[in-house]
Amino acid sequence: MSTSLPDPTDPARVESPEEQTPHPVLPVRTERTGRTGSSVPEYLEDTDDLGDTDGLDEDEDQDEDEDDGPSRTAKQWWPYLISALAFLVAPYVIGMALPAATATTAMLVLLPVAAFGTGVLDGAVFRSTWSFPILTGLICWFALKLYSDPGTWIYAVGVFLLCLAGSHLGGRLRGGAEGRPADSGVGKV
Q: Tell me how long the chain is.
A: 189
pTM for the model: 0.54
Quote the distance between the C-alpha of residue 70 and its chain's center: 9
Could you read off the pLDDT tens digit of each residue along the chain, which spans 189 residues?
556 666 666 666 665 655 555 555 555 555 555 555 555 555 555 555 555 555 455 544 444 444 555 677 777 778 888 999 999 999 999 999 999 999 999 999 999 999 999 999 998 888 888 999 999 999 999 999 998 888 888 999 999 999 999 999 998 887 754 544 444 444 444
- Residues 6 or more apart whose CB falls under 8 angstroms from that of 25 comprise 44, 54
Dist. CA 103–CA 48, nearest whole Å: 67
For position 127, what pLDDT does the model report?
Answer: 83
Dist. CA 161–CA 183, nearest whole Å: 28
Dist. CA 103–CA 96, nearest whole Å: 9
Dist. CA 142–CA 6, nearest whole Å: 66
For position 169, what pLDDT does the model report?
Answer: 93
Dist. CA 30–CA 186, nearest whole Å: 42
User: Residue 150 to residues 107, 127, 146, 162, 187: CA-CA distances in angstroms?
Assistant: 16, 34, 9, 21, 46
Q: For the chain, what are the domain ranges? A: 85-174
- Residues 6 or more apart whose CB falls under 8 angstroms from that of 134 comprise 160
